[in-house]
Amino acid sequence: MTSMPGQAGTPMSREGADYALHARKEERDRISGNLLDLESHTSYQLLKGSVLRGVTQRRWSAAMASMAAVWSLYDAYRGTLRAAEEVRARRTRPGPAELTELTELLAGPAVRLAAPALPVEQRSLRANPDETITLDEAVSRMDAAFQEVGDTLTEIDAAWNALLPRLEEAESALRAVDGLQRALEEPPEPGRAAAELARLREAVVADPLDPGQAGADLDRIGALLAARQTDLERAVALKQAYAERVDGLRLAIERLAAAEHDTRAAHGTVVAKIALPESARPAATAEGLAARLAETAGTWQQRARRLDDLDRTVTETERRARLTAQALLGLLGRRDELRGLLLACQAKAVRLGLAERPAAAGLYERARLLLWSAPCDLNRAAAAVTAYQDAIHGEDP
């Protein structure tokens, strides 16, 4: 707000009047520019063209009432300033009468505001007088109303900026999903995402200050669409390289069959020498997995999920088969290790003169029978070797 020289009761000098008038013109232009900038704001224009509701509708209605008050004040302010310009234009060098009039217009209560039209229940039978205020008071009132409109617009704009980009991202994901479904040339799966996004857009645009569960709903729909898009992208990739993918899995199943054959061979070798539980018999899964690979029923998405699952199963089953073969053959190494340990203990017993003692000899014989029998019970044999070893060490001087 510009502070002007002079008071209503003390006429301004010619220089003071010219300065005040020039400053008021600059102030008028600045106010006009700010008002036009506000009305050209993107969110302001969008709000003017939107059907609002709820909290936003009430807040924006109040803001529009304030904006109307600003323009009404501005028109009265500008009218008073125009009257001052006309007075100043009368003479090149204004006389006392013009200076007095200019002082009244520029510094006195010269801005006339028409009395507001009141509802009938608030009226009086007496006349409702107009109000006169100074230019400074008019600017103060305009500024307060302008700030109220700006604050409301900023709050709504911030709410939109928080939700609309997320909404647009979800709508973009929905378009991508639709495009992928068309690429598969299959009927789209029924979904409610489009209807839900339309509902959310209406809620966000109509009442951004109170959008309800829009944020949580956008998180949920966004996650669903992202998962759906990933699923469809896999299906499209599979459709484009289906033959290569099947050939690769067929080779993987052949490798699995070879690994399972090696595992059965190892089992056959070991089971003749080492006692094994029935659960240790290797399973044959390659044939069943090959039958699953031959299935072609279902949509491309179902095929993609099936092949992904089959790929993981084949890889993991082959890994387990090879580990099982290694473990089975390792049992023979364990038996040989126990045999070597038993012989080393016997040699020590001979050096110490303990080999012929009945207790030690009995333990040795029991361990020997277990280790050199077929099939060998490794657990019992290991316990017998440990018992003989403890007996020898116990008598070691």
The pLDDT, as a whole number, for residue 356 is 85
Do residues 74 and 142 lie in contact, with contact meaning Cβ atoms separated by under 8 Å? yes
What CA–CA distance (Å, rounded) separates 287 from 303? 19
What CA–CA distance (Å, rounded) separates 376 from 274? 4
The pLDDT, as a whole number, for residue 9 is 59
> What tokens were used for 150?
């700006």
The pLDDT, as a whole number, for residue 6 is 46
Q: Are strands 111-113 and 131-133 parallel, antiparallel or unpaired?
A: antiparallel
The pLDDT, as a whole number, for residue 61 is 94
The pLDDT, as a whole number, for residue 238 is 84
The pLDDT, as a whole number, for residue 211 is 87
Q: DSSP letters of 307-336?
A: HHHHHHHHHHHHHHHHHHHHHHHHHHHHHH
**Percent of residues in the chain assigned helix, strand, coil, to nearest 5:** 75, 5, 20
- Which residue ranges in the chain fall short of pLDDT 70? 1-9, 118, 121-122, 127, 188-190, 394-397
| Dihedral angle of Cα 159, 165, 171, 172, to the nearest 10 degrees | 180
Q: What's the DSSP call for residue 133?
A: E
Q: Classify 130 as helix, strand or coil.
A: coil
What CA–CA distance (Å, rounded) separates 259 from 153? 71
Do residues 36 and 21 lie in contact, with contact meaning Cβ atoms separated by under 8 Å? no
The pLDDT, as a whole number, for residue 3 is 46
Q: What's the DSSP call for residue 121?
A: G
Q: Which pTM value belongs to this model?
A: 0.59
> What tokens were used for 105?
């217009």
The pLDDT, as a whole number, for residue 49 is 81
